[in-house]
Chain A
């Protein structure tokens, strides 16, 4: 069972972010065996994890994995059906009242009929340690939009305003629920470079995403959720290794020579499927090390035609990891 792992990454890093609250100086947030049921549906099923100061953590999982429900519980918007959620050693509400948490919601949450500047000013003023409005607008790169009405913005611009609301004051934890949804690649890169500055300032960052690449590029630590369960908790590299399968396919023609039976001895292979006879064979391989596998194919004297190497989609990766998790549970 991997759901209760507490990987201490980054706890000793950027110690300045620690405000030593309530005798839990190294604990920003904690889930202790938390579950949430909606009727008969278990949206979150017994998950436990701890966030440490200065970490940038990705909450990774497909839609409906329980990420948003977990974030809602973390922020006190929903109460868990079982288990305990703490933020800075107290209740989520206490942490929010103390201005320790900045939040960027997935969608909505913006007020129409006001200008960007009016909305952000409001956020700065209600934050117990709010920043200067112009500073926040500049950081979020929306100074040029300041006098626009909030309801007249494009999707990407709206996201930047939401980001400004989340960074309107000196918060210790910033929570972002799928912040780059609807952004194009350029906007996404710009967004993360701004976010990186927040992390470098020593803040703890938790973001939900269903992009594996995003988690890989940004996070020190990745929590993988699937069907309400926390099925993996580790560095991006560790998760990638588990999910980093490649699929290789090619055809072998009898006239090219080589012994197809050698395929069974290839390194890195996790699955092998050979179909067709006589006139030619189609080979499909799943491997954890595509480079080594292919090098071995050539070394064996085989002549692969129509070679294709494809990364396993995140969907497939989750199936792989979930299957592992299910196996672990059964033991």
Chain B
């Protein structure tokens, strides 16, 4: 089990596409946003903080959804078949993907947060850790979605679906710009919006973000159930 996780983490960290989309790209976007908005404020939050959180979650969601492409490819290549012929239990594969996603989302969070601190975002250590933990833990909701997507279809279908849902969710989740009016009415129920809100809890005036936690837990339950069902379906058709 540990062996499989080790192999997974190694592979993802070696993947340049992963590095670009989940670490370099969000960091670049953050640099761009924080330099263009300087010290402006929105709803009592500085843009530097706002985008620090939303770019960290953007990278995390990207890393988590990347799981979809990998599962889909490995189903096609026969690696999942080969694993079923080892002494590892059947769920070990999915677990290794989720754990690996949990590990490889950390660089995305750390890099963007470090840039935020460099740009002058100030928090007590406990707040940094709390926000970091919120971003990291929330990433598992999207890892579950990634597993479900990976078992849903073949690689050439999964890739565009993943990209569209990734960008769409980021847009409706207020990752690119703060939502107002009609967009907010719709967007506030989407998973990335809840995720961004939760990760901003220290500056949002929300005490723990109970409603966001409940919302994300509901999404997690739905994605996990979907993933479990698609996974079972796949095992019957190999």
Q: Return chain A residues, CB-CB under 8 Å to B77.
A: 108-110, 112
Which 9 pairs show the lowest CB-CB distances between chains A and B?
Answer: A108-B78, A109-B82, A109-B78, A113-B11, A103-B85, A108-B77, A125-B3, A126-B86, A97-B87
B13-36 vs A, Cβ < 8 Å mask (1 yes, 0 no): 011000000000000000000000
- Show the binding face of A for B, using Cβ within 8 Å: 72, 75-78, 96-99, 101, 103, 105, 107-114, 118-119, 121-123, 125-128, 165
For residue B84, CB closer than 8 A to chain A, the reply is yes
Partner of B7, one of A75, A98, A114: A114
Q: Return chain B residues, CB-CB under 8 Å to A97.
A: 87, 89
Nearest-Cβ distance from residue A121 to partner chain B, whole angstroms: 8
Residue pair B79, A118 in contact (C-beta under 8 Å): no
Q: Return chain A residues, CB-CB under 8 Å to B14.
A: 113
For residue B225, CB closer than 8 A to chain A, the reply is no
Q: Report the separation of the CA atoms of residues A57 and B66 in the bound assembly, to the nearest whole angstrom.
A: 43
Nearest-Cβ distance from residue B105 to partner chain A, whole angstroms: 18
Nearest-Cβ distance from residue A39 to partner chain B, whole angstroms: 13
Q: Return chain A residues, CB-CB under 8 Å to B82.
A: 103, 105, 108-110, 165
Nearest-Cβ distance from residue B30 to partner chain A, whole angstroms: 28
Q: Among residues 81 to 125 in chain B, which have CB atoms less than 8 Å away from a CB atom of chain A?
A: 81-82, 84-89
The answer to whether residues A122 and B87 also contact, given A105-B81, A107-B78 and a CB cut-off of 8 A, is: no
Nearest-Cβ distance from residue B118 to partner chain A, whole angstroms: 32
Q: Report the separation of the CA atoms of residues A119 and B79 in the bound assembly, to the nearest whole angstrom.
A: 11
Q: Which residue of A lies closest to B92 (CB)?
A: A126
Q: Return chain B residues, CB-CB under 8 Å to A96.
A: 84-87
The answer to whether residues A75 and B85 also contact, given A109-B77, A113-B14, A118-B10 and a CB cut-off of 8 A, is: yes
Q: Return chain B residues, CB-CB under 8 Å to A122.
A: 3-4, 7
Q: Return chain A residues, CB-CB under 8 Å to B87.
A: 96-99, 126-128
